[in-house]
Amino acid sequence: MANISAEKRMHLANRIREEHQINQQKMKSRESILYGAYPAQETEEEQLPPSTFRLRFALSAMLFMAYLALDMAGGSIFGKNAKEIYALMQENYQIAAESSKFLDFFASLADMPEETGNYSVSGQ
C-alpha cells in the first residue's frame, strides 16, 4: 500500500465512490419495481391539508399580549377594563371543581411568605 502514489489513491477513491453511487441507483430502481413508487413521491390526493395551528397560535398570543397591555396600562376597550373582561370570561367559562382546587393550590403558594433559613433533613 505504501508503494501506491497519492494520485493513484485519489483515482481509486473516486472509483469506489462512483461504484457506490451506481449501486445506490440500482437499489432504488429495484425497490421501485418491488414496492411501486417511492414513499417520498406523494400525489396531491395523499398530501395533508395545510394546518392553521401557527395562525391560531399567533392570533391567541397577540390577543393575550393585548390583554396584558390593557391591564398594565389601566385602559379600557369598548368601555370595559381588564378586570371586567376577566370577570366576563369567568362568567362564560366556569372552571371545573378539580381545576379550581389545582389553581387554589398555586394561589396559596403565591401568598406564602418567603422563608429564609437553613433547611435540614430530619433524621441526620
How would you write the pLDDT of the chain (124 residues) with one tens digit per residue? 568 788 888 999 999 999 999 999 998 888 888 887 665 555 555 677 778 899 999 999 999 898 888 888 888 888 888 888 888 777 766 654 456 666 666 667 656 555 544 544 555 4
Residue type, 97: A
Determine the 3-state secondary structure of 114 from DSSP.
coil
pLDDT value of position 24? 92
Q: What does the alpha-carbon distance between residue 38 and residue 120 come to, in Å, rounded to a whole number?
A: 63
Q: Which three cell numbers stand for residue 104?
A: 387554589
Q: CA separation (Å) from 84 to 17, 63, 64, 65, 69?
A: 71, 16, 15, 17, 15
pLDDT at 21: 93
Q: How much is the pLDDT for 39?
A: 55
Q: Which amino acid is at 51?
A: S
Locus of grid cell 399567533: 58
What is the model's pLDDT at position 17? 93
SS3 per-residue string spanning 25-82: HHHHHHHHHHHCCCCCCCCCCCCCCCCCHHHHHHHHHHHHHHHHHHHHHCCEECCEEH
- Check residue 119 and give its pLDDT: 45
The DSSP output letter for 123 is T
